[in-house]
Amino acid sequence: MIKHGPIDVVVLASGEPRMEGKVYKELKRQAAAGIIRVLDAMLLIKDESGKGWRFDSKDLSPEDVEALGISRDLKQSLFDSADAETLAEGMVPGSAVVALAIEHVWAIDLVNAMYDAGAELALNFRVPAPIADEVFTSLDAKP
C-alpha cells in the first residue's frame, strides 16, 4: 500500500507576470477537492531594475497553508536556496518564476485498489500537456 501519491515538480516562468490570483485559486480548488496537495511552493520575482524577491510556502499564512494542503510535517522545504539561485539565473528583469511540488492525492486510493487487485506498477511516465495537445491536434487532423 502506498501512503503518498506521485509528485510532480512544475516550474513555470513568465516574462510578463500577472499576479491576479487565478493560479492560487485553482490550486486551492483542487486541494479542497482532494485532487492534489501542494507540498511546497516558491515564487521568484525580478523587478524591472533587476532586484529579486523570493517567497516560499513558509511565508504563507496558516489559512493558506491549510487551504493548499501543505504539510508542516516536513522538516524542511523541498525547494532551497540552491534551487532559487539556479532558477533566478535565467530570469530577466520584469519576470517571475513559480516552482511547485504537487502530490497527486487522487492516485493514492486508485493505486492501492490496483495493488489489492494484484497489479504491480510496470511503467510510469508523464507526457507534458503541450505535447499531449499536439498529439490530439494531429490525430484530429487525420482523415
| pLDDT band at residue 121 under the 50/70/90 scheme | confident
* Lowest pLDDT segment from 39-53, 68-82, 106-120: 68-82
Render the burial of 20-31: b for 16+ CB within 10 Å, e for the rest: eeeebeebbebb
What mean pLDDT is predicted for residues 102-119? 93
- Other C-beta atoms closer than 10 Å to the C-beta of 45 total 19
List Cα–Cα distances, 114 to 3, 21, 34, 118, in angstroms.
14, 37, 19, 6
* pLDDT above 70: residue 34: yes
What mean pLDDT is predicted for residues 41-49? 93
Bigger pLDDT: 15 vs 36: 36
| pLDDT band at residue 43 under the 50/70/90 scheme | very high
What are the pLDDT digits (tens) for 61-107? 888 888 887 866 666 788 999 999 999 998 999 999 999 999 999 99
